């Protein structure tokens, strides 16, 4: 093979995270030649710094709580302590096995995996360490980084999730700056590990992207768990002396802690990579695309966290697959952003799909809602969890939103997304039989009630 042929591909993908590697795998399956460029570790944020390690921490946190709460179930257990070296070994083991599996998968598909930092140097060329990879199509998938605030340096005991994932101690007092998904997940872990936790959130409520009723329930549950939070309050600065941080708020309050976790969102990784020079339209750092994920430059696509919208791994997977299929000429259906399930894995878990009540009112005008309290659900009682499932439907129409909170509710999002994406009527779901006693049954019962034939539903 000539040097030119060896460096020419149907697709060259920049970034081997969820979006990039999913695109590579699907393209290879479809018989396209692919080069995948990654400067760090294949698997990206999700596998190494995001979804997987955080959920391992959350599981360890659940085990700690189970040890504490045995008495509730008549089982004599005592909670001794959290050994962070053991927790990290468990977490790293999970990540390591998945990483090995993913590396094997990419190898087995004859994808040209190129290690190194790449740059778009022409509209169809990515350059990596002097090697020029030419693509009939280019896919930008460079992901995101943990943001901070102006003047807030990430150093010492001031960390983002990236450093907090590798702590070798449990801090006695933690301030979490940001009450969004990442903030509440870490707050939940720290509390279960034994830290005193305070969340600072500038917006009026925690998890502000969720339905308001979900935020209220989470706040009730966090209060019960003695996780402190201050909403509608702005951070004004922090000082660090040795291992102690003093967090100042605009209200004039100061909170002393052993760690400040900055969880104020994630910004797109798009600077200095040649995107703008190639003519790609960038808006506040994000790469703009049409619904087919094509940028304004012909032959250049973008997927994952650099595209405005939900920053979720499964969105990245879906977009990567979409682009591969689009390039292969399969004409895949466009992705409905509202049809992407969202799960927040704090305790209690939050899972949702579709429109919140407020969004649905704006979009559809007349709507109906129903809240099914988990108090009426046998399995939730067995687990001793509280929460609800809230349904939002268009008046006399399909279900357009499902919002759930309670232990393990993330596992219910699969059926919820079928309901939303298949535009089911409450009566369609009501006739499907849900197994007893499961938490899934609560989803069935909520639809029975909304269809006008409630079973175990009060009020």
Ligand X SMILES: Cc1cc2nc3c(=O)[nH]c(=O)nc-3n(C[C@H](O)[C@H](O)[C@H](O)COP(=O)(O)OP(=O)(O)OC[C@H]3O[C@@H](n4cnc5c(N)ncnc54)[C@H](O)[C@@H]3O)c2cc1C
- Active site residue ranges: 436
> Which position among 7, 45, 377, 386 is part of the footprint of ligand X (CB under 6 A)?
45
Distance from C-alpha of 35 to C-alpha of 63, rounded to nearest angstrom: 42
Q: Which of 11, 57, 88, 118 binds ligand X (CB under 6 A)?
A: 118
Minimal distance, residue 305 CB to ligand X, in Å: 4
Tokens of 84: 């962070």
The answer to whether the bond into 66 is cis (omega within 30° of 0) is: no
Footprint on residues 153-212 left by ligand X (CB under 6 A):
161, 182
Residue 126 C-beta: closest distance to ligand X, Å:
8
Where does this chain touch ligand X (CB under 6 A) — which range of 311-319, 322-330, 416-424, 426-434?
A: 311-319
Nearest approach in angstroms of CB 50 to ligand X is 3
Site for ligand X in 46-65 (CB under 6 A): 46, 49-51, 54-55
How far apart (Å, rounded) are the C-alpha atoms in residues 361 and 341? 20
Contact status: 410 vs ligand X (CB under 6 A): no
Per CB under 6 A, the list member of 171, 178, 267, 304 interacting with ligand X is 304
Q: With binding defined as CB under 6 A, does residue 44 bind ligand X?
A: yes
CB atoms within 10 A of CB 61: 23
**Under rule CB under 6 A, which residues in 342-381 are in contact with ligand X?**
345
CA distances 119 to 3, 122, 129, Å, are: 20, 9, 9
Contact indicator for 11, 135 with CB cutoff of 8 Å: yes
Residue count, binding to ligand X (CB under 6 A): 37
Q: Is residue 118 within 8 Å of residue 131, measured between CB atoms?
A: no
Distance CA 20, CA 199 (A): 34
At CA 160, angle to CA 156 and CA 163, rounded to 5?
A: 65
How long, in residues, is the chain?
459
Q: Which of 170, 165, 159 is nearest to 193 (CA)?
A: 170
Report, in Å, the least distance between residue 40 CB and ligand X.
Answer: 3
- CB nearer to ligand X: pick between 345 and 355: 345
Least spacing, CB of residue 175 vs ligand X, in Å: 17
Strand-strand pairing, 254-257 and 244-249: antiparallel
CB of 335 to ligand X, least distance (A): 14
Distances (CA, A) of 218 to 184, 205, 435: 10, 10, 27
| CB of 448 vs ligand X, minimal distance in Å | 31
13, 24, 27, 37: residue in contact with ligand X (rule CB under 6 A): 37
Per-residue x/- track, 130-149, ligand X (CB under 6 A): -----------xxxx-----
User: CA 200 to CA 119: how far, in whole Å?
Assistant: 38
Stretch touching ligand X by CB under 6 A, among 12-20, 197-205, 379-387, 442-450: 12-20
CB closer to ligand X out of 287 and 457: 287
> Do 172 and 256 touch, CB atoms closer than 8 A?
no
Q: Per-residue b/e over 355-367, b at no fewer than 16 CB within 10 Å?
A: bbbebbeeeeeeb
Helix-then-strand count for the chain, H and E: 14, 24
Member of 9, 17, 200, 406 binding ligand X (CB under 6 A): 17
Q: Which helix (H) or strand (E) holds 13?
A: strand 8-14
| Tokens 């089911």, located at residue | 424
Q: Does the footprint of ligand X cover residue 289 (CB under 6 A)?
A: no
Q: Which residue among 19, 376, 401, 426 contacts ligand X (CB under 6 A)?
A: 19
Q: Are strands 244-249 and 131-140 parallel, antiparallel or unpaired?
A: unpaired
- Closest to ligand X by CB, 24 vs 446, is 24
Nearer to ligand X, 162 or 368 (CB): 162
* Of positions 38, 347, 357, 445, contacts ligand X by CB under 6 A: 38
Residues near ligand X, by CB under 6 A: 14-20, 37-40, 44-46, 49-51, 54-55, 117-118, 141-144, 161, 182, 269, 273, 304-305, 311-314, 316, 345
């Amino acid at each position: 093979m000539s040097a030119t042929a060896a460096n020419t591909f149907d697709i060259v993908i920049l970034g081997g995270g969820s979006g990039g590697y999913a695109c590579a795998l699907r393209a290879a399956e479809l018989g396209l030649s692919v080069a995948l460029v990654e400067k760090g570790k294949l698997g990206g944020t999700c596998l190494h710094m995001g979804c997987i390690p955080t959920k391992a921490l959350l599981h360890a946190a659940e085990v700690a709580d189970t040890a504490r709460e045995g008495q509730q179930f008549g089982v004599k257990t005592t909670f001794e302590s959290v050994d962070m070296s053991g927790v990290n070994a468990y977490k790293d083991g999970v990540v390591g096995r998945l990483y090995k599996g993913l590396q094997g998968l990419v190898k087995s598909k004859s994808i040209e995996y190129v290690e190194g930092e790449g740059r778009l140097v022409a509209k169809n060329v990515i350059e990596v360490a002097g090697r020029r990879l030419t693509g009939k199509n280019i896919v930008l998938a460079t992901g995101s980084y943990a943001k901070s605030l102006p003047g807030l340096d990430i150093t010492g005991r001031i960390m983002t999730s990236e450093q907090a994932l590798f702590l070798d101690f449990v801090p006695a007092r933690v301030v979490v700056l940001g009450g969004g998904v990442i903030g509440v997940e870490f707050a939940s872990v720290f509390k279960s590990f034994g830290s005193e936790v305070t969340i600072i959130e500038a917006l009026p409520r925690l998890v502000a992207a969720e339905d308001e009723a979900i935020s209220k329930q989470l706040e009730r549950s966090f209060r019960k768990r003695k996780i402190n939070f201050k909403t509608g309050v702005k951070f004004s600065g922090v000082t660090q002396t040795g291992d102690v941080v003093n967090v100042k708020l605009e209200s004039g309050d100061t909170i002393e802690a052993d760690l400040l976790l900055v969880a104020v969102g994630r910004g797109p990784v798009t600077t200095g990579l040649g995107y703008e020079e190639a003519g790609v339209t960038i808006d506040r750092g994000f790469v703009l695309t049409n619904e087919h994920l094509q940028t304004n430059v012909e032959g250049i696509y973008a997927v994952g966290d650099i595209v405005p919208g939900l920053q979720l791994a499964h969105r990245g997977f879906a977009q990567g697959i979409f682009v591969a299929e689009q390039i292969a000429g399969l004409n895949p259906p466009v992705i409905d952003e509202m049809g992407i399930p969202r799960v927040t894995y704090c305790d209690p878990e939050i899972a949702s799909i579709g429109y919140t009540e407020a969004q649905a009112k704006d979009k559809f005008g007349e709507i109906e809602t129903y809240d099914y309290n988990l108090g009426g659900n046998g399995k939730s009682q067995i687990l001793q969890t509280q929460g609800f499932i809230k349904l939002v439907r268009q008046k006399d129409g399909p279900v357009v939103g499902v919002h759930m909170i309670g232990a393990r509710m993330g596992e219910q999002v699969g059926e919820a997304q079928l309901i939303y994406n298949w535009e089911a009527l409450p009566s369609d779901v009501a006739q499907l039989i849900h197994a007893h006693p499961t938490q899934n049954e609560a989803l069935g019962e909520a639809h029975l009630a909304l269809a006008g034939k409630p079973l175990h539903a009060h009020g």
